[in-house]
Amino acid sequence: MDDNFDKDKAIALLNRILEMELAGVVRYTHYSLMVYGYNRIPIVEWLKKEAEEGLLHAHKAGEMITLLGGYPSLGIGPLLEKHHEDIGDILRESLAHESEACTAYYQLLELTQGKSVVLEEYARALIVQEEMHADEVNKMLRKTGKTGVFVRSS
């Protein structure tokens, strides 16, 4: 193993990931309490599942931080508190946050690639999960019958 990579930078990135995943737990829990109407039950289920997944991801990031001998952050990422008019608003906001988290995982991959099998495999596995999740959200933001990828206008 060539462990010649910047450990402090890896710990800082992992702490950012930990904080973002914890923010996801709070956000998805909040969203799940804000959905009403005929479609409520399956959407609330899905949002609660996302909150649980965020917590699992936070635990994993924490394990990687302590594997490197780092101190896990007690902080939490940004919690955008804005009024959501509909589920589309919630999904668009969630897509934006997910893509930020994915960027951090890619940065970790770049930092550890070829230098730490554990961190490289961890980053790759999480990128796959985050991207499949983003695809799931993206498909929910499309109109039935139209297969074109939803593009955020930011």
Q: Which residues bind Fe ion (CB under 5 A)?
A: 57
- Nearest approach, Cβ of residue 73 and Fe ion (Å): 16
Q: Cα–Cα–Cα angle for 13, 18, 20, nearest 5°?
A: 95
Nearest CA-CA partner of 10 in 129, 122, 134, 127: 122
**Comparison of 24 and 83: residue with beta carbon closer to Fe ion:** 24
CB nearer to Fe ion: give 27 or 57. 57
Compute the Cα dihedral for 46, 52, 56, 61 and give only its sign: positive
Give whichever of 16 and 57 is closer to Fe ion, judged by the CB atom. 57
Residue nearest to Fe ion (CB): 57
- The four Cα atoms 90, 97, 55, 10 give a dihedral, to 10 degrees, of 180
* Minimum CB distance to Fe ion, residue 128 (Å): 11
Place of tokens 């796959």: 128
Task: Decide whether 115 or 129 has the Cβ nearer to Fe ion.
Answer: 129
Shortest distance, position 94 Cβ to Fe ion, whole Å: 11
Give the nearest distance from C-beta 130 to Fe ion in angstroms. 5
**Are the C-beta atoms of 102 and 127 separated by less than 8 Å?**
yes
